[in-house]
Structure 1
Amino acid sequence: MNKRSGDRSATVLFAFFWFAYSATYIGRLNYSACMPAIMAELHLSKAFAGAVGTGFLAFYAVGQLLNGLIGDKISPKYMIGAGLFGAGTANLFMGFNTFVPLMPVIWCFNGYCSAMLWSPLIRAISEWLPQHRQTRAGVGIASTIPAGTIASYLSSALILRLAGWRAVFLFSGGFLILASAVWAAGMAGLRKYIAAACAQSEADRNARREQAAAAGRKETLRSALKLFVGSGLAFAAFGILFNGVLKDGVTLWVPAFLKEYFGVSPAFASVLSVALPVASVFGAYLSVGLNKRFFDNEFTTSAVMFLISAVSFTLLILLGVKNIYAAVLMIAASSTAMLGLNTMFLTFIPLYFKQLGKSATVTGFLNACSNAASSVSSVTIGVLAARGGWNATILSWVCIAAAGLLICVAGRKRWAENRGLISRGIEEENPQTV
């Protein structure tokens, strides 16, 4: 395969990556958009309706961990296709289902299927794309999060208004099953390119192992404990926990904060909240630009992202509470920084583990930590706001950002010492402890 043909195939392959992951948001955020209509029509309690959403988050977090482990054993083309098809099937069942107690089961299944994409996707980027295209791909794939979020909310709102909540799930299910067919067709068309890329990745991995053996180094960081402690992932795990709170937990409660604090209508609060995913598109470009130009250390860059978040929420307390537009601007600044940090931890750090054959495992583990924090914070933020008020809640966000900053500062030296060895698939000769 010549270089021009290979570059063209890599570009087409990334387009399929972007399409597949963006598509999942159509079928995972639609429940939130439809929840008021579902509760009104089926006379559901807030507790039951909330339990359906919580079940999704719980199975999504568990699925990230399990599918991360599986994703290093099974080809991404099968994992991603199965995830799209399974999520589509769950959405169709949700649209046709008339037995209310079955709703949590269906949506938990959707949570697990939706978790089958990200970890295999990061593995595919690390193994199927040439090295010089991986940074650009890492930035580009991060844009699927805000793009998919906006597409999901807009399509759900339109269909909900025109045809009702069941039609939203039927549309989402049909779209995801179609997406799985498009993915399968795309992978079939690129099978020669993918086979060649996989063969090259395996050859590179074997060559590095032989070099390590010749130099008298141990082969790899095989055990999960060594991988977690020796590489600095322990710091990343705690850092991504704080990121999960500030990225997803805070975002969930922004409409309620704007409505209650400034007394605006729910519709207006929701419209203003759209600014968050729009602004966060630039987060990945910001973090990658800073890392490439100034820091050359994912932990240092992440510390700066936490600093931006802490400053933003401090300004929100001091100035933003006086003006709703200033408040949205401050929260959007934090949201942008948190997506940038998320890109460092869930895309670029796992790429270093390619030669160890553990890119998907590391991605799944860190993503599970992030989603666990998101699901817990979605409840605790509401409790804190109800008992202590929004000023106390925002102050807690400042403290969380500060704690995340300290974790990243503490871990940056360990990561700088070990990431080169990890990327070469070898173990440090004199391993240290955290």
Structure 2
Amino acid sequence: MTWTPGDALRFGQRRTLLLCWFAYTLAYTLRVNIAVVIPALVSVRGYSYAQIGLITGAFFVSYMFGQLIHGYLGDIVSSKLLIVGGLSLSALCNLGMVIAATFGQALLIWGLNGIVQSMLWAPIMKTLAQWYNRQQLERVSFIMALSMIAGYALSWGVSSLLMDHADWSRVFSLPAAVAAVHALVMLVLFRSRPDRAPAVDAPRPSRATGRRQEDRMPIGAYFGLVRLPGLLLIAVCHGLIREGIGVWFPGMLRDLGRTPPGYAWLVLVVVQLANLAGILLVRRVSLAYRGESARTLLAVFGVVGASVGAVPLLMRFWAPASVVLLAVPLALTHGLTPVMTSLIPFQYARYGRVSLTAGVLDFAIYLGAAVSGISSGLIIDRLGWNGVTLVWAAAAAAGLALAFNRRAAMRGESYADEIGVSR
């Protein structure tokens, strides 16, 4: 059997996607595991919920600024260096949480974890944009979104079992060991770009700028190209809801005692199946709207606003149903993630700004997450769980209003038209 250049490219594409998928899955096990271990940090280490909020907030703050830095570096520095380095250093940070003796040390270590975790996503997007053509990237982006769900399910499921049957420190040390092994595998097998470019249309000048696809647009022109401020505010609301619920949902389940002893892991895994359904549903919506992100954002935030808005009322009269209902906005905001952090950045491949776009949008998402992380702990300490659900409801209302405004401003034009991408 003859091994053609096309066969080599397809093999390289599958290998690269698989390595990136597992890298980001394992990266999530090194960051969302803290949600399950919160009760132990409160009872064993004596931290208050306000202190837990500061620790998770430190991660989000450092992560969002790291996205700006590594989003820019990702367009000019080796993707392999950033991805392998970020995964390895995040494993070390998780080991550091085991030996952290004080609140200050834990705050510093988890903040550092945010910085090194920010080294991963933007270079992964850049790498995939170099291995796959435009027609393939829509499917690839949703495949990568599944890595987040897998990471959540693996982390929450295994961590809950470890909390029930082993020492809480294993929640940090076990994923660190697995991630370190994968980093070594990537060091050997990962390649940032193919020898032969995937089959694509010949580079064409953009209708918006007249620049060819392989050119890298100056940063000033890039930021002036789209209606960026409104999109960034939508991303802030998205992050506040998604990461706010994601961080506190396991603790809420345990604190309110809504699951039978020993079965918390099963409930948390089922929640991730709901998140998977959210990704598939939002993808169908995006396809139905032909990739017009403004319409997709409006539809998703409409449902998120309705569901999260009902939670404070149910929390007062029927708390178990309110916890279940929180799975709806959590699932839909996870479904919106590939639209915000993959599909939109991929549309900037012709400007040489895939990594920067992914970094900027991720920055905004985690700005919202940082606000949620820092404020939620204080709110829970003073007002309980009902208080923090009101914050999520307010963010959903703001996101809906911003999405409606964006849709009204773009009526009659597609997102591809807005940025000058030919269909």
TM-score (norm 2): 0.84
The match for 2:124 is 121
State the 1:418 CA deviation. 6.2
Q: Is the 8 A contact 1:320 1:330 kept in 2?
A: no
Q: Does 1:153 align with 2:148?
A: no
Q: Does 1:419 align with 2:419?
A: no
State the 1:255 CA deviation. 4.8
The match for 1:338 is 333
Which stretches in structure 1 are left out of the alignment for 5+ residues?
Answer: 426-434
Q: Does 1:71 align with 2:74?
A: yes
Counterparts in 2 of 1:380 and 1:108: CA distance versus 1, 3 Å: closer
Alpha-carbon distance in structure 1 between the residues aligned to 2:410 and 2:90: 39
Alpha-carbon distance in structure 2 between the residues aligned to 1:99 and 1:293: 51
Q: Does 1:172 align with 2:175?
A: yes
Alpha-carbon distance in structure 1 between the residues aligned to 2:359 and 2:190: 23
State the 1:146 CA deviation. 2.0
The match for 2:194 is 194
Alpha-carbon distance in structure 2 between the residues aligned to 1:385 and 1:72: 41
Alpha-carbon distance in structure 1 between the residues aligned to 2:114 and 2:147: 18
Counterparts in 2 of 1:407 and 1:77: CA distance versus 1, 3 Å: same
Counterparts in 2 of 1:51 and 1:5: CA distance versus 1, 3 Å: same
State the 1:45 CA deviation. 5.6
Alpha-carbon distance in structure 2 between the residues aligned to 1:314 and 1:142: 26
Describe the SS at the equivalent of 2:352: coil
Counterparts in 2 of 1:321 and 1:273: CA distance versus 1, 3 Å: farther
Q: Is the 8 A contact 1:259 1:266 kept in 2?
A: no
The match for 1:410 is 405
Counterparts in 2 of 1:394 and 1:77: CA distance versus 1, 3 Å: same
* 1:164 alignment partner AA: D
The match for 1:109 is 112
Counterparts in 2 of 1:369 and 1:123: CA distance versus 1, 3 Å: same
Q: Does 1:89 align with 2:92?
A: yes
Describe the SS at the equivalent of 1:165: coil
| Aligned with 2:28 (options 25, 30, 47) | 25
Q: Is the 8 A contact 2:53 2:374 kept in 1?
A: no
Alignment of 1:360-375 (within 5 A): 360-375=355-370
Q: Is the 8 A contact 2:35 2:248 kept in 1?
A: no
Q: Larger % of helix: which?
A: 1
Query: What is the alpha-carbon root mean square deviation over aligned residues?
Result: 3.5
Q: Is the 8 A contact 1:68 1:360 kept in 2?
A: yes
Alpha-carbon distance in structure 2 between the residues aligned to 1:13 and 1:414: 36
* 1:195 alignment partner AA: D
State the 1:60 CA deviation. 1.5
Count the aligned residue pairs.
Answer: 414
Alpha-carbon distance in structure 2 between the residues aligned to 1:66 and 1:379: 22
Q: Deviations over 1:254-281 (max 9, x none)?
A: 4565677x66479689554554332111
Q: Is the 8 A contact 1:240 1:342 kept in 2?
A: no
Q: Does 1:59 align with 2:76?
A: no
Describe the SS at the equivalent of 2:350: coil
Alpha-carbon distance in structure 2 between the residues aligned to 1:47 and 1:319: 25
Q: Is the 8 A contact 1:291 1:301 kept in 2?
A: yes
The match for 2:146 is 143
Q: Deviations over 1:183-239 (max 9, x none)?
A: 122215xx7x723238x78x95xx43xx469x9946779444443343122221011
Describe the SS at the equivalent of 2:174: helix
Q: Is the 8 A contact 1:259 1:269 kept in 2?
A: no
Alpha-carbon distance in structure 2 between the residues aligned to 1:44 and 1:424: 50
* 1:375 alignment partner AA: A
State the 1:144 CA deviation. 1.4
Counterparts in 2 of 1:250 and 1:107: CA distance versus 1, 3 Å: closer
Q: Does 1:280 align with 2:275?
A: yes
* 2:280 alignment partner AA: Y
Q: Deviations over 1:152-211 (max 9, x none)?
A: 1233334445552344433232212111111122215xx7x723238x78x95xx43xx4
Q: Is the 8 A contact 1:352 1:423 kept in 2?
A: no
Q: Is the 8 A contact 1:255 1:266 kept in 2?
A: no
Q: Is the 8 A contact 2:59 2:113 kept in 1?
A: yes
State the 1:68 CA deviation. 0.7
State the 1:292 CA deviation. 1.2
Q: Deviations over 1:104-146 (max 9, x none)?
A: 3332222211111111111122221233321111111111112
Q: Is the 8 A contact 1:295 1:301 kept in 2?
A: no
Greater mean alpha carbon deviation, residues 388-397 or residues 160-169: 388-397
Which stretches in structure 2 are left out of the alignment for 5+ residues?
Answer: none
Alpha-carbon distance in structure 2 between the residues aligned to 1:157 and 1:389: 23
Alpha-carbon distance in structure 1 between the residues aligned to 2:238 and 2:206: 36
Counterparts in 2 of 1:212 and 1:265: CA distance versus 1, 3 Å: closer
Alpha-carbon distance in structure 1 between the residues aligned to 2:52 and 2:326: 27
| Aligned with 1:303 (options 288, 292, 298) | 298
Counterparts in 2 of 1:164 and 1:224: CA distance versus 1, 3 Å: same
State the 1:67 CA deviation. 0.9
Q: Is the 8 A contact 2:86 2:120 kept in 1?
A: yes
The match for 1:353 is 348
The match for 1:132 is 135
Alignment of 1:1-40 (within 5 A): 1-38=4-41, 40=43
Alpha-carbon distance in structure 2 between the residues aligned to 1:355 and 1:226: 14
Identity across the alignment (%): 23
The match for 1:401 is 396
Q: Is the 8 A contact 1:280 1:335 kept in 2?
A: yes
Describe the SS at the equivalent of 1:196: coil
Alpha-carbon distance in structure 1 between the residues aligned to 2:209 and 2:58: 49
Alpha-carbon distance in structure 2 between the residues aligned to 1:379 and 1:50: 5
Greater mean alpha carbon deviation, residues 166-175 or residues 119-128: 166-175
Describe the SS at the equivalent of 2:190: helix
State the 1:393 CA deviation. 5.2
Q: Is the 8 A contact 1:258 1:269 kept in 2?
A: no
Q: Deviations over 1:84-121 (max 9, x none)?
A: 11112223344455577543333222221111111111
State the 1:324 CA deviation. 4.9
Q: Deviations over 1:60-84 (max 9, x none)?
A: 1211121111111113222111111
